Structure 1
C-alpha cells in the first residue's frame, strides 16, 4: 500500500512536543495545536486511540490499585483498605503505596515492550477511595479508611505520596482521589440520588480528606461521583468542581468521571438533567470533567461543539490537563530519561513486598475482646477445630478491586502450618448466608468428556471462538487463574477464548447451585439452553443458576469464555444447597480441645452495585448489620458444646455481634486481610504477634441505631455524633500487654492562632513487646458549639518493649482547634477546649472488654 506524500511529511515532521527540553505546558500546547476536533475528543475517553499521524500512541486511562495492582496479572495483594485503615499507621501506608507503584511501573514498562496498551496496563490509577464510611450498610465502605475525616486524610495523603513518588521531573504514577464528593451509598440508587447536607457537615466531614489529598499530597486526579449533590450531578457540579476544587483549593490536575456516570445525566429514571448525550457531554466539560470513563464524549462532545453547546477552548482546556499528566509520567520521553523506568520486573511479588504485605496484615488485626486472657492460645494443644464459611475461603482474603496473588493463606492453612503435630478438624459449618453457599470447583469425578473425567477444552487465539482451535485438550476441572502460565503456548493472554464441552454426572441427587466465575465474559449452557450469560464490564464477576440434579443422570454442559484483560481466569463452581453442614461442624468441635470460628461476610455479597438480594443484603449494601442468621445459628450450636472458643471475623464493614460479645470470650477482627491474612490471624491467635489494630469505624448494636441510609446529615452518625451506646467504639482495640500514660505536657493558656504543643510519656507496663496507638482528641467546651462530641486530631502508632517508655509529641494547629460554623466557616473563639490523650476515645460508652488503656484530659484556655 502506498503512502501519500503528505502522510510521509507528517511522519517525518519533528514536532516541538517531542522536545524534552521544552516546558510541559509548551509541549502540551504544541501537541494539541496539531489535533483536529475529533482527535481531541478521542483523547478524552478512557480508552483513547492512537493518533498515528502525530506519533501519539493509544492509551487506556483505566487502572486500579486499591490494595495492590489489580486485574493485571500477578501482584502483591495487601489487606483491603478498611484493614489498612485499622492499622492506624500512616507511615506504613506510604510504604505500601511505594511498593504498589514499584510493581505498577515494572508491569507498565513490560506491557509497553510487548506493545500492550490496554485496560489495566497504564499508569493512571483510580485510587484511593477517601469517601467517609458514614454508614455500616454501605457495601463499598470496605474500600475506604473508615469513618473519620482526619484518619482518612492521614492515610490517604501518605498512600498518594507513596504512589506518585518524589521525582521532581516525573510522576511515578497518577493517583486519583475518589469519589468527589458526598458519596457513600446506597449502591442501588446511586445513579439517581440527590443528596443535601448542611454547610457544616460538608466542611467538617465530607471534604477534609479531599482537601488534604490536593493541598498536601498534590494528587493529580480526582474522580467525581455518580450522585447529585444539591441538585447538581457531581460530574457536572459548578460548586464541587469549580468553586471548591479549582478556585478554593487550587487543584490543577484533571477530573475523571466515574464509569458511565455522564450517561446518568440524560438516561431515563436517573438524573435526567438534560435530554441528549451531546448536552450531557457539554454540561460535564463546561463544569470541569476532563476525562470520560465511558463512551458518551466520543462523538457526542464533537457534536456539542458544532452545536455551540460548549466552546472548543473548553475542550482544549480539558485535554491540556490530560496530556499534561501523560507528559509528567514520561510517556513522550525516552525511557532512559525516566528514573521510574529502571524498576526491574523482579520486584513484582518479591520477598520484600511479601514481607510488607504480611506486616500490614498483622498490624490490621483488631482484638475486640479477650476475656480471662483466652488468647493467646497454647501451641501444645493436641487438637483444634477450625470451623466456619470463612475458614478456608480464598475470596475473603481479597475483598474487592484486588490483583491476583500467588499466595492464598487462609486461616485453616495457617493454623495447619502453625501446629504441624496437632489434629486439625475442619468443617465449613454453614453457608455464608441463607441462599448463598460457598462454591467450589466442580470435581473431575463428576465431569465427563466421553469416557474421560473432565471437559473438552478448545482454545482459540481470538475472542470469537473462530477458526481451528490452537489447542484441544482434556481439562480435568475448570479452575484456571492464568498468572505465570499462559492458557496455551504462544498465547497473548489478553485476547483469547475457550470453549469447554462435556457432561456433569452428579454422584448425589439434590438441589445444586452451579456458577461461572470469569474475568471478562462468559456463557454457560446446560442441555443446550443458555442459563448464564454475562458480558464484559471490565471486572471479574460470578453468575450462577440453581437446578435439581439426579444422581447418575448426565447433563450436557458448554462454557463459552473469552478474555481480553491481562488477568484471565475462569472457574466452573458449584455447591449442594440442601447439604447438612452443621453436623460435621459439631462433630469436629466435639473431638477438639479448642474451637476457632471463622465467620463474617464476603466480597461476593457486599461490594459495588451487585445483583445480590438476600436476607440482610441489598444489591451490594446491607439491610441488616448483624451476622447472617446461618452463622449465628452455627455459633450458638458450637458454643453449646462448652468448648473454649475464639471468634475470628473476616468482613469489610462493622458487624452487630451482640450475642458473640456476650458469650464468646475472645473475638478478633481480621477484615479482608490480603494474601497473607491467614498467617497474620494465626500469629495473633498463638501469640507470635501482639495485636494493636484499632477500629476505624464504630460497631453499632443494631440497624435500629442508625439514621435513614439515604440521609447524609451527620446527626447520630459515627463516633463524633452518635448519642447511643456502641458495641465497640471507634479507636478500640486490645493488646496482650498494657500501657500507662504519664507526664502530660499541655499549656494551660494559648493565644488564638497559636499552635498547641502536646507531649506525653507512654510506658509498656506489661510483659510482652507490643504496639500502642496513641490517640489525641479535642472537645469544644462551648454551649454554642453543637457539633461533634469530640474529634480525632492526632495519632501515632509506636512500638514498646516490655518496661520501655517513650515520649510522644503532637502539634495541634489552629485549623484543628477551630470549629466549623453553621455556614461552613472556620472560626476560633476564646474560651476553653479539652484535649484528650490516651489509647482510646474519651468517654467511650461501649464496653472496653477488660481494657486498661488510659485516657487523660486537659483544659486549654484560648485567649483572643
Structure 2
C-alpha cells in the first residue's frame, strides 16, 4: 500500500471478492492470450506486433459494462469468454519483495526473497547507483516469482513522502526529510524496479512501480488525529517546494507507471477526488504514463468517514472524474454500474480509467501469451535469494550505517585484543526487527549477536524482555556481564511496536527504561562501551552523546536480513562507515513545541520550523552528519563566480513591466542547458580506505522566504588511503537554485548564491541576461 486499511474494511474486501485467495505457489496460473486457446488466438489485443494503443482499444471494445467495472478494483475479476484470468494488482516491494498485499505468496519453490535494509537506512548511504541496483535486483526476484506463479507484476512501491515529523511511524519507509534526496531516490529506485536505464526506452516494463502516498501524507495516528479523517492544511508554497517535489521526480525522471493517492484530504479535498492534483498535475503537468490507484479503501474512507459525498455514486463520479483509474478495495466494483445507470458518470470515464490500467498490463507483457516464452521468461526460483543478491543486501546495510560518536577513536575494535565481548540489549539478538515494515520473508537472518560472534567470543544478556523495557529486574545480570568482559556492545532502540504504520510516536526518547540500562551497564563496564541503535525515526540520544563511558554510537536503522553481519563488520573494522543521517535528530523538547498536525515547514514566531531546510533550534545530530574511521579533505577545483540567466525575450522581469529582476519566474528564463559546473577535489588523508559523501548546499540571497540552505547535489566516492579524486557536479541552475514564492510560483533569485561544500564557501552571482 499502500497501507494497512481498517481490519473491517480489509475483511470486506476479502468477502466481496468471494473469499478467494490467490493460486498456490508454484502452480502457474492461467495467462491471457494463450496461443493454444482457439477463442482468443485471432484477437488483435493478443498480438504483440500491434501498437499498444490499438490492442487496448480492441480489448476495451469487447467488454460489457458489467465486466468493465469488475476490472476497476485491485482483485480484478476474470473474463473467461476472452481468456482473461483474474489479476491481483496489490503487491509491495518497498525494500524487497514483500508478503504485504495478496498479490505475492511465499512457500514451496520460493520460500523467501532478499530483504534489503529499510529505506531510511538505504537512503543514508547517499549512493544513487546503489538505490538503482537494489531496485533492479528486487524486480528480478519479483519477475522470477511471477514466472513461478507466486507474484504479480504491479508493485505499490516506493514510499516517497517527505519525513516531515520525527514522530511519524512510517518515516522508516521513506528516503528522509529532504525533498530533493527523496526525489532522487524515487527516480533511481523506480528505474531499477522497472529496469529502465536512464536514457533508454520505457515502453516495456519489467515490473510496474508506484509513487506513494500522494500527497502531503505523513500522519498516521497521533493524539486522536488519524489519516482517515485528517485534513492537511498546506500552503501553496510548502506544497510546491516540499511535498510535491519527490512525486514530480518519481513521475518525470523515474517514469513511474503508477501513482497512489492518499487517505487524507489536502485543504479540504480528498486527494483521490482532487482533479487539480490527479488530472491537472500528475497526468497533465507531469505527464504520467500509467495509472492512478487509491490507497486501500480510500474511496470507502472518503464516503463513510470523511462524508465527502452524500451517496456512493457521487463518490464514484468524483474520483473517476478527478482521474482515479483503480480502486484498492471493492467500492468501484460495487457502485460504478449504478453510478452510470443514474447518470452520475459516463461509461467514457470508466473506459478512460481502463485504458490506463490495460496499457500498463500490455507494457508488462501480460497479454503476450505464455510468460515463459517472453524475454524475461527464463527467470525463476533459482534467481531469488542468490548469493549475489544477498551480498548486495549486506553491502547496502554497511553503506547506510552511520557512525555518530567515536570518542578517542575507540572504534573499530580489534578482535585480537578482546577475549570476550558483552552483547546486551533488547535488539541484541533481533531478527524480525531488522527488516522493519513492508518486508517479506527473508532468505535468512544474521542477528547482531550472530554477527559479533563471528569475530569474538561473546557473553549475551538481553537486559530487557523487549524494546518497551518496562522492567528493570534483568539489569543487574546485564551489568555483571559487562563487568567481566573486555568490551560491551549495547544494541538498543525501537521496533514496530513503537513506530509503525498507524502508530506514531509521542516521545523521541528511548522507550521505557532503556536509557537506565545503557547508563547502568556503561558505568559498570570494564571495557569500552559501544551503543548501537536500531530505529526508523530519530531518537534523542543526548544522554549517550554526553556520557563519557559511552565511547561509540552507531545508528543502524532497520538494516535488513544481513543487518547483524553489517553491524559487526563496522564495529570490527572490516567496513569503514560512510553513511550520513537523512533526517535531523531533534531533542525531546521539539515535540512539546510542534504538533504533528501542523504542516507548515517554515519557522514563524514560536514555531521552530521543520527539517534542516527551515528548522531554527537545537539539534542532537544534524541532517547529513556521519563520521568515518579515516579523514577527508575537499578543495574547490573549479566553479564560476557569475552566471548569466537568459530570459525568454517575451516578458519583462517584473509583473508590472519594469526590469525588476530580483527573482525571475523560472518559466520566463531559458533554462535548457543552463548548468553550474562545480569540480571538487576530495582526498583521503587517513590511513584507512573509506567512502566520503560530498554534499553541495545552496543558500539563496536573503528575503525570499527561502530555505536556510538546500542540498542541490551529492556524490558518494570510495577512496583508498592517501588517494585523491575529482568529483564533478553539473548543477541545474533553474531547478536547483530556484525558490518557491508565497503563491507557489517557482522563481530564480538574482544575486549572490552561497554554495557550501563541507567547510568550503563559494559565491556565485546570478544575473538576468538576454532580452529585458
Deviations 1:281-317 (A, max 9, x none): 2221111111111111112111111111111100000
- Tell whether 2:232 aligns with 1:339: no
- Tell whether 2:670 aligns with 1:670: no
Q: Give the secondary structure class of the aligned counterpart of 2:599.
A: coil
Quote the residue 1:799 is aligned against: 718
Deviation at 1:743, TM superposition (A): 3.7
Deviation at 1:435, TM superposition (A): 7.2
Quote the residue 1:60 is aligned against: 88
- Tell whether 2:165 aligns with 1:139: no
* Mapped contact 2:428–2:490 kept (Cα < 8 A): yes
Q: Which has the larger radius of gyration?
A: 1
Q: Give the secondary structure class of the aligned counterpart of 1:622.
A: coil
Change (3 A) 1:579 1:793: closer
Q: How does 1:432-451 map to 2 (within 5 A)?
A: 432-434=466-468
Q: How does 1:3-82 map to 2 (within 5 A)?
A: 11=39, 14-71=42-99, 72-73=105-106, 74-82=112-120
What is the CA–CA distance in structure 2 between the aligned matches of 1:337 and 1:206, rounded to whole Å?
A: 43
* Mapped contact 1:170–1:338 kept (Cα < 8 A): no
Q: How does 1:319-358 map to 2 (within 5 A)?
A: 319-334=354-369, 335=371, 338-358=374-394
Change (3 A) 1:133 1:336: same
Quote the residue 1:631 is aligned against: 514
Deviation at 1:56, TM superposition (A): 1.1
- Tell whether 2:48 aligns with 1:161: no
Change (3 A) 1:789 1:703: same
2:688 to 768, 778, 781: 768
Q: TM-score, normalised by structure 2?
A: 0.85
Quote the residue 1:456 is aligned against: none
Quote the residue 1:832 is aligned against: 752
Deviation at 1:279, TM superposition (A): 2.2
Deviation at 1:606, TM superposition (A): 1.2
Q: Give the secondary structure class of the aligned counterpart of 2:313.
A: helix
What is the CA–CA distance in structure 2 between the aligned matches of 1:811 and 1:695, rounded to whole Å?
A: 24
* Mapped contact 1:10–1:53 kept (Cα < 8 A): no
Quote the residue 2:325 is aligned against: 290
Quote the residue 1:474 is aligned against: none
Q: Give the secondary structure class of the aligned counterpart of 1:796.
A: strand
Change (3 A) 1:589 1:13: closer
Deviation at 1:434, TM superposition (A): 4.2
Deviation at 1:57, TM superposition (A): 1.2
Deviation at 1:277, TM superposition (A): 2.4
Quote the residue 2:154 is aligned against: 124
Deviation at 1:704, TM superposition (A): 2.9
1:725 to 595, 618, 629: 618
- Tell whether 2:677 aligns with 1:757: yes
Query: What is the CA RMSD across the aligned residues, in angstroms?
Result: 1.6
Deviation at 1:130, TM superposition (A): 0.2
Quote the residue 2:653 is aligned against: none
What is the CA–CA distance in structure 2 between the aligned matches of 1:812 and 1:588, rounded to whole Å?
A: 54
Q: How does 1:391-790 map to 2 (within 5 A)?
A: 391-419=428-456, 422=457, 424-434=458-468, 580-609=473-502, 620-643=503-526, 644-663=528-547, 664-704=550-590, 707-715=594-602, 716-752=609-645, 753=671, 754-782=674-702, 784-790=703-709
**Higher alpha-carbon deviation: 813-822 or 703-712:** 703-712
1:214 to 232, 239, 251: 251
Deviation at 1:667, TM superposition (A): 0.2
Deviation at 1:744, TM superposition (A): 3.4
Q: Give the secondary structure class of the aligned counterpart of 2:349.
A: helix
What is the CA–CA distance in structure 2 between the aligned matches of 1:12 and 1:659, rounded to whole Å?
A: 69
Quote the residue 2:3 is aligned against: none
* Mapped contact 2:576–2:628 kept (Cα < 8 A): yes
Deviation at 1:579, TM superposition (A): 8.4
* Mapped contact 2:299–2:315 kept (Cα < 8 A): yes
* Mapped contact 1:385–1:589 kept (Cα < 8 A): yes
Quote the residue 1:173 is aligned against: 207
Deviation at 1:238, TM superposition (A): 1.6
What is the CA–CA distance in structure 1 between the aligned matches of 2:195 and 2:467, rounded to whole Å?
A: 43
Quote the residue 2:271 is aligned against: 234
Deviations 1:698-730 (A, max 9, x none): 001114355210111102100000101211000
Deviations 1:813-839 (A, max 9, x none): 12211121111111123211101113x
Quote the residue 1:529 is aligned against: none
Deviations 1:527-569 (A, max 9, x none): xxxxxxxxxxxxxxxxxxxxxxxxxxxxxxxxxxxxxxxxxxx
Deviation at 1:336, TM superposition (A): 5.7
Deviation at 1:339, TM superposition (A): 1.6
What is the CA–CA distance in structure 2 between the aligned matches of 1:649 and 1:12, rounded to whole Å?
A: 58
* Mapped contact 2:467–2:493 kept (Cα < 8 A): no
Quote the residue 2:125 is aligned against: 87
1:258 to 295, 309, 323: 295
Deviation at 1:245, TM superposition (A): 1.1
- Tell whether 2:218 aligns with 1:184: yes
Deviation at 1:13, TM superposition (A): 7.3
Count, aligned residues: 675
What is the CA–CA distance in structure 2 between the aligned matches of 1:742 and 1:171, rounded to whole Å?
A: 42
**Higher alpha-carbon deviation: 180-189 or 722-731:** 180-189
Deviation at 1:642, TM superposition (A): 4.5
Unaligned runs of 5+ in 1: 1-8, 437-577, 610-619, 839-854
What is the CA–CA distance in structure 1 between the aligned matches of 2:374 and 2:295, rounded to whole Å?
A: 30
What is the CA–CA distance in structure 2 between the aligned matches of 1:786 and 1:581, rounded to whole Å?
A: 52
What is the CA–CA distance in structure 2 between the aligned matches of 1:161 and 1:703, rounded to whole Å?
A: 40
Unaligned runs of 5+ in 2: 1-36, 100-104, 107-111, 603-608, 646-670
What is the CA–CA distance in structure 2 between the aligned matches of 1:186 and 1:11, rounded to whole Å?
A: 49
* Mapped contact 1:432–1:631 kept (Cα < 8 A): no
Change (3 A) 1:433 1:10: same
Q: Give the secondary structure class of the aligned counterpart of 2:682.
A: strand
Quote the residue 1:500 is aligned against: none
What is the CA–CA distance in structure 1 between the aligned matches of 2:523 and 2:41, rounded to whole Å?
A: 81
Q: Give the secondary structure class of the aligned counterpart of 1:430.
A: coil
What is the CA–CA distance in structure 2 between the aligned matches of 1:252 and 1:362, rounded to whole Å?
A: 36
Q: TM-score, normalised by structure 1?
A: 0.77
* Mapped contact 2:119–2:173 kept (Cα < 8 A): yes
